[in-house]
Amino acid sequence: MNRMEKVFAKGKAFIPFITAGDPSLETTEQLVLQMAAAGADLIELGIPFSDPVAEGPVIQEADARALAAGATTDKIFAMVKSIRSASQVPIALMTYMNPIFTYGIEKFMANSREAGIDAVIVPDVPYEEGEELLPYCSKYGIELISMITPTSEKRIKMIAARARGFIYCVSSLGVTGVRQEINDDVKGMISLVKEVKDIPCAVGFGISSPEQAAKMAELSDGVIVGSAIVRIIGQYGADCVPHVVEYVRRMSEAVKQEKTDI
């Protein structure tokens, strides 16, 4: 079993997102190691981008902090390499197409593999443009994670048929950010996926409370939480690690708890 296959092998997965280099790459490294120890099954690491059009204000600000602190794609690869000497937690890079394209798609995937990256998530590459990345993803064994959203509708089956690793189910319209209400339609979205392919589906966008996480875990195979964590990092800066770890532990427990009622 490769690292990606292990993510969902033990049951429901908890997947935290953080922006690499916010507030520093040293802190990011500590966060990855300790979140893994606290129950994270896959870490989604954002490569900061100057213009993250799919992000709300919380992650936009994290990207700006990380870039101001000097994070670059090369330094992030080096950090992941260093993490790999201590941990085999699966890692997915989340970034936009321009940092990948400008770096050189092949070089990006080759260096990802060498650093020990397992997957990439590229929110501005829809199904139709995926062909540009896929040959290099498969050459270097990096999974390109597919996203489906509440507007995907007829597209879900087509997307699912080509999907690998897991499917990122975007719970709501709009950009990333904490929400009070989370769309219940994820259930319908996921059942469309499962008609085509037996592939794990993880739900993200808007989730922040253990109650929301538990509810989404019931409907899916895993839960992705970004803005709520990034907000803690923004609040505590270099001292964020224990606060984030505590939060990840609670969220991970909520995701993995056995259903008691209903």
Partner 1 sequence: MLKGRFGNYGGQYIPETLMNAALELEEAYSKFKDDQEFKEELSELQRNYAGRPSLLYYAEKMTKDLGGAKIYLKREDLNHTGSHKINNVLGQVLLAKRMGKTRVIAETGAGQHGVATATAAALMEMECEIYMGKEDTDRQALNVYRMELLGAKVHTVTSGTQTLKDAVNETMREWTRRVKDTHYVLGSVMGPHPFPTIVRDFQSVIGREVKKQILEKEGRLPDALVACVGGGSNAMGLFYEFIEDKSVRLIGCEAGGHGIDTDKNAATMATGTVGIFHGMKSYFCQDRYGQIAPVYSISAGLDYPGIGPEHANLSDLGRAEYVAVTDDEAVEAFGYLSRVEGIIPAIESAHAVAYVQKLAPTMSREQIMVINLSGRGDKDVAAIARYKGVQIYE
C-beta of residue 56 within 8 angstroms of C-beta of residue 49: no
User: In the beta sheet, which residues pair with residue 45?
Assistant: 18, 93
Return d(Cα 136, Cα 222) in angstroms, integer.
27
**What DSSP string describes 145-168?**
-EEE-TTTGGGHHHHHHH--S-EE
The amino acid occupying position 175 is V
**From candidates 175, 196, 199, 241, binder to partner 1 by CB under 8 A:** 175
Q: How many residues bind partner 1 (CB under 8 A)?
A: 42
Q: Nearer to partner 1 by C-beta: 153 or 195?
A: 153
Tokens of 24: 């520093």
Choose among 166, 256, 206, 196: nearest CA to 17: 206
Q: Nearer to partner 1 by C-beta: 89 or 117?
A: 117
Q: Nearer to partner 1 by C-beta: 3 or 179?
A: 179
Q: What residues numbered 130-149 form the site for partner 1, per CB under 8 A?
A: 131-132, 147-149
Least CB distance to partner 1 at residue 125 (A): 6
29 binds partner 1 (CB under 8 A): no
The amino acid occupying position 113 is R
170 binds partner 1 (CB under 8 A): yes
Q: Nearer to partner 1 by C-beta: 24 or 87?
A: 24
The separation between the first and the last C-alpha atoms of the chain, rounded to the nearest angstrom, is 34
Binding pattern for the stretch 40-69 against partner 1, x by CB under 8 A and - elsewhere: ---------xxx-xx-xx--x------x--
127 binds partner 1 (CB under 8 A): yes
Kindly give the pairing relationship between strand 91-94 and strand 146-148: unpaired
User: Packing angle between helix 105-115 and helix 73-84, nearest 10 degrees?
Assistant: 20
Q: Nearer to partner 1 by C-beta: 89 or 160?
A: 160
Least CB distance to partner 1 at residue 157 (A): 14
103 binds partner 1 (CB under 8 A): yes
**From candidates 10, 85, 151, 261, binder to partner 1 by CB under 8 A:** 151
Residue 18 main-chain phi, psi, to 5 deg? -140, 155
Q: Nearer to partner 1 by C-beta: 124 or 246?
A: 124
**CB hemisphere CA count around 132 (13 angstroms):** 14
- Rule CB under 8 A: which residues touch partner 1? 49-51, 53-54, 56-57, 60, 67, 72-74, 96-103, 123-129, 131-132, 147-153, 155, 159, 170, 173-175
